Chains A and B, each alone.
Chain A
Amino acid sequence: MTKDEKDRELLLQREVPFARELVWKALTEPEHQNRWWGPDGFRNEGVTMDFRVGGAWTFEMVGPDGTRYPNHSVFKEITPSSRLVFDHGDGQRIWFESSITLQETGSGTLVILRHLFPSRESRDEVVEKYGAIEGGKQHLAKLEAYLKENLS
């Protein structure tokens, strides 16, 4: 990784005690992926997944108040059970490149997630334009969790 990429990327990893093929399945098959994507209180609707390089993966995240958030990604690399790369955006523009790498370990699978903005300029533009929307989404999720805890 070059120094320049550091301030426009998100890097996250976690080891999970499950076979790599199973993690891949949960990650790439819509019927499974819909069950954990979240956030809490959100559901995915109208999922289409054209699972090939150049194919699109689209769905709408529907918030607890009914607000719809379009998601539109295009696959750039598919290496079964090992690596998935896609450009993520909302159909209007690309926000960032997302790559998910799965590595077998002695006791399970290491999931490595990376989001990379194409440039600092595009990062700042996305943050400025979509930061508030993302913030609203998270606020709604917290509110939903709060209501569940206190009113049910």
Chain B
Amino acid sequence: MLARLGKGEATVGELAQPLDMSLPAVTKHLKVLERAQLISRSKNAQWRPCRLEEAPLNTASGWIEEQRKVWESRLDRLEDYLHGLEKIERKKR
């Protein structure tokens, strides 16, 4: 599905056709992909075509914004890790 979207926008019907999947099954998959921010779907058109989500990394502000997201989630993981590390360090004392 993602490979097909890599070639450009597609409707649910176009995505389902080569996969031998029912439309509801494809729609369900698309919802998960949309939640994972891998794709986006047009809100206006009747057929709501899907496209691969790409960050605007070709602009400086877009790139810096993506780096901010990278570091926000890195700090999330650091905090999680520190919880465990603090317990280990306490035991040592």
Mark each residue of chain B from 55 to 93: 1 if its CB lies under 8 Å from any CB of chain A, else 0. Answer: 101111111101111111111011111100110010000
Which B residues are in CB contact (< 8 Å) with A9? 64
Contact of B78 among A16, A132, A150 (CB under 8 A): A16
Q: Which of under 10, 10 to 19, 20 to 34, or 35 or more describes the interface residues of B?
A: 35 or more
Indicate if A66 sits at the interface (CB-CB under 8 A).
no
Check B70 against A39 for contact (C-beta < 8 Å).
Answer: yes
Bound Cα distance A146, B86 (Å): 30
Check B57 against A134 for contact (C-beta < 8 Å).
Answer: yes
Indicate if A38 sits at the interface (CB-CB under 8 A).
yes
- Closest A residue to B79 by beta carbon equals A16
Indicate if A1 sits at the interface (CB-CB under 8 A).
no
Contact of B36 among A36, A37, A146 (CB under 8 A): A146
Check B70 against A22 for contact (C-beta < 8 Å).
Answer: no
Mark each residue of chain A from 110 to 152: 1 if its CB lies under 8 Å from any CB of chain B, else 0. Answer: 0101010000000110111001101100110011011001100
Indicate if A45 sits at the interface (CB-CB under 8 A).
no
Check B37 against A36 for contact (C-beta < 8 Å).
Answer: no
Check A127 against B67 for contact (C-beta < 8 Å).
Answer: no
Which A residues are in CB contact (< 8 Å) with B78? 16, 23, 26-27, 36
Which B residues are in CB contact (< 8 Å) with A8? 60
Given A14-B75, A111-B75, A146-B38 in contact, is the A138-B70 Cβ separation under 8 Å?
yes
Indicate if B32 sits at the interface (CB-CB under 8 A).
yes
Given A143-B38, A146-B32 in contact, is the A10-B58 Cβ separation under 8 Å?
no
Most buried by A among B68, B69, B78: B78
Bound Cα distance A32, B86 (Å): 12
Contact of B81 among A7, A36, A138 (CB under 8 A): A36
Bound Cα distance A46, B40 (Å): 37
Check B32 against A25 for contact (C-beta < 8 Å).
Answer: no
Contact of B82 among A22, A135, A143 (CB under 8 A): A22
Residues on A close to B: CB < 8 A?
7-10, 12, 14, 16, 18-19, 22-23, 25-27, 32, 35-40, 111, 113, 115, 123-124, 126-128, 131-132, 134-135, 138-139, 142-143, 145-146, 149-150
